[in-house]
């Protein structure tokens, strides 16, 4: 997967992040790259959240098709609402 210099900066950044940008800017590719990097780190659990089901499904598709990664049950991929319900409201 090829990334622009700005997208690569996002992938290489440490810590948690919120990625906001205009449509077509590469948010999904950047988030997928970051998620892939984190999944390969030992002992790191990943929660990749989107505001919409479509966004979460697209992120999962890019992870699977472009990077060959399917997240294990120890990680989370879905909407922020689903994350909050599963891990905060009804843990």
Please report the pLDDT score of residue 2 as a whole number. Answer: 86
Tell me the CA distances in angstroms from 20 to 56, 63, 71, one per residue in order: 15, 19, 23
- pLDDT confidence of residue 53: 97
Return the closest-CA partner of residue 9 out of 25, 30, 26. 30
pTM: 0.85
pLDDT in tens, 27-82: 999 999 999 999 988 778 999 999 999 999 999 999 999 999 999 998 999 999 99
Residue 30: exposed, middle, or buried by beta-carbon count in 10 A (0-12, 13-18, 19+)?
A: buried
Q: Among all chains, which residue has been given the structure tokens 């843990």?
A: 91
Instruction: Supply the pLDDT for residue 84.
Output: 96
Q: How far apart are the first and last CA of the chain?
A: 36
């Amino acid at each position: 997967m090829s990334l622009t210099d700005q997208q690569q900066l996002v992938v290489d950044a440490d810590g948690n992040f919120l990625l906001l940008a205009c449509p077509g800017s590469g948010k999904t590719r950047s988030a997928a790259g970051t998620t892939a990097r984190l999944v390969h780190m030992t002992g790191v659990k990943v929660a990749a959240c989107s505001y919409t089901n479509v966004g979460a499904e697209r992120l999962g598709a890019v992870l699977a098709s472009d990077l060959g990664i399917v997240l294990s049950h120890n990680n989370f991929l879905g909407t922020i609402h689903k994350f909050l319900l599963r891990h905060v409201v009804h843990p």
